[in-house]
């Protein structure tokens, strides 16, 4: 039986999640030619083709689709073993600051895994707005920071770009208005600024129909059908969908998030930051620093 290098499986999953060799190359920080070579090595080990031509790109074969679940389980086991061996005797305290965008999606499972492997480490989780959390990080109150990017920083481990999209209630707005009604967070907010700038550049009239200091309030406003908002696909869920294309809402810039690690961080802190970086790299279009 041939042993499979976990790096090959990581690249394979980067293709499966990203849908193209170019996105996979960006996710694993390799050239497209290196990614192609890795996929060929993996196909040789498996003994079956994993990718097949599909239009101008490539798609998973039935064997490739079957391998996806196996690859995730193998890498999860590999990561859990690594964390457990490093974390069994580790102790101390870690403060993680994150926006609600990630607290509602990837963080719960990831932190549960870390807590199991580092039972003596105390985790302090701070969920809030990017500006407030960045101030706390700069003041030394937060060890790891996952927020919307304010500006390039020397201690960034990873920068994640995600598509910014228009969102509305499932089924559309409750009433039709000549002006585009917006639901936005209180300033400062990058999503708010991007929405207003895009509408102004397109010459589309708009009005602020709802404001909130939190994402829960923003979600309620959108689900009520009184306004559109701009977030990433992480905000999609029951009652909220992408705004229909026929509304011709203006194009939005990409949202940038950054993962930052405190300088001279202890090993448990660095381990959690590495786990976050790996998880984010598998789910987006990251740039490692």
Residue 39 has a CB neighbour count (10 Å cut-off) of 21
Q: Which stretches of the chain drop beneath a pLDDT of 50?
A: 88
CATH number at residue 241: 3.40.190.10
Q: Please check whether residue 280 is in contact with residue 145, taking contact to mean a CB–CB distance below 8 angstroms.
A: no
Q: What is the pLDDT of residue 138?
A: 92
Q: What is the pLDDT of residue 33?
A: 85
Q: Do 130 and 202 have their domain in common?
A: no
Q: Do 275 and 239 have their domain in common?
A: no
Last residue of a domain, one of 59, 84, 109: 84
The radius of gyration of the chain from alpha carbons, rounded to an integer in Å, stands at 21
Q: Which of 50, 104, 138, 62 is nearest to 215 (CA)?
A: 104
Cα angle 46, 52, 53 (rounded to 5 degrees) comes to: 160
CATH number at residue 38: 1.10.10.10
Last residue of a domain, one of 84, 118, 142: 84
In this structure, is residue 253 part of a structural domain?
A: no
Q: Do 71 and 209 have their domain in common?
A: no
Structural domains in the chain (count): 3
State pLDDT tens for residues 218-265.
999 999 999 999 999 989 989 999 999 988 999 999 999 999 999 888
In this structure, is residue 259 part of a structural domain?
A: no
Range of the domain at 114: 90-157+264-288
In this structure, is residue 35 part of a structural domain?
A: yes
Q: Which of 62, 40, 137 is nearest to 96 (CA)?
A: 137
Q: Do 74 and 13 have their domain in common?
A: yes
Q: Do 133 and 196 have their domain in common?
A: no
In this structure, is residue 182 part of a structural domain?
A: yes
Q: What is the pLDDT of residue 83?
A: 63
Q: What is the pLDDT of residue 282?
A: 67
Q: Do 171 and 235 have their domain in common?
A: yes
Last residue of a domain, one of 38, 53, 84: 84
Q: What is the pLDDT of residue 115?
A: 81
Query: Distance (Å, rounded) from C-alpha 235 to C-alpha 229?
Result: 10
In this structure, is residue 135 part of a structural domain?
A: yes
Q: What is the pLDDT of residue 145?
A: 95
In this structure, is residue 255 part of a structural domain?
A: no
């Amino acid at each position: 039986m041939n042993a499979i290098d976990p790096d090959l499986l990581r690249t394979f999953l980067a293709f499966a999640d990203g849908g193209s060799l170019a996105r996979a190359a960006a996710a694993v920080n390799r050239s497209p030619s290196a990614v192609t070579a890795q996929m060929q090595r993996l196909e040789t080990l498996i003994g079956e083709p994993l990718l097949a031509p599909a239009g101008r790109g490539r798609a998973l074969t039935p064997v490739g689709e079957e391998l996806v679940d196996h690859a995730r389980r193998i890498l999860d086991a590999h990561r859990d073993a690594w964390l457990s061996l490093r974390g069994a005797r580790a102790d101390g305290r870690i403060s993680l600051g994150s926006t609600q965008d990630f607290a509602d999606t990837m963080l719960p499972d990831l932190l549960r895994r870390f807590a199991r492997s580092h039972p003596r480490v105390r985790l302090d989780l701070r969920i809030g707005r990017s500006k407030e959390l960045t101030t706390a990080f700069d003041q030394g109150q937060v060890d790891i920071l996952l927020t919307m990017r304010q500006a390039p920083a020397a201690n960034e481990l990873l920068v994640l770009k995600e598509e910014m999209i228009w969102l509305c209630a499932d089924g559309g707005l409750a009433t039709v208005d000549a002006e585009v009604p917006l639901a936005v967070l209180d300033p400062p907010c990058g999503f708010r600024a991007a929405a207003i700038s895009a509408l102004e550049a397109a010459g589309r009239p708009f009005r602020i129909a709802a404001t909130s200091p939190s994402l829960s309030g923003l979600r309620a406003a959108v689900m009520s059908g009184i306004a559109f908002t701009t977030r990433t696909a992480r905000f999609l869920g029951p009652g909220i969908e992408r705004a229909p294309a026929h509304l011709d809402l203006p194009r939005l810039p990409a949202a940038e998030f950054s993962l930052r690690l405190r300088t001279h961080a202890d090993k448990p802190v660095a381990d959690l930051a590495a786990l976050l970086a790996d998880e984010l790299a598998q789910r987006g279009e990251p740039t490692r620093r």
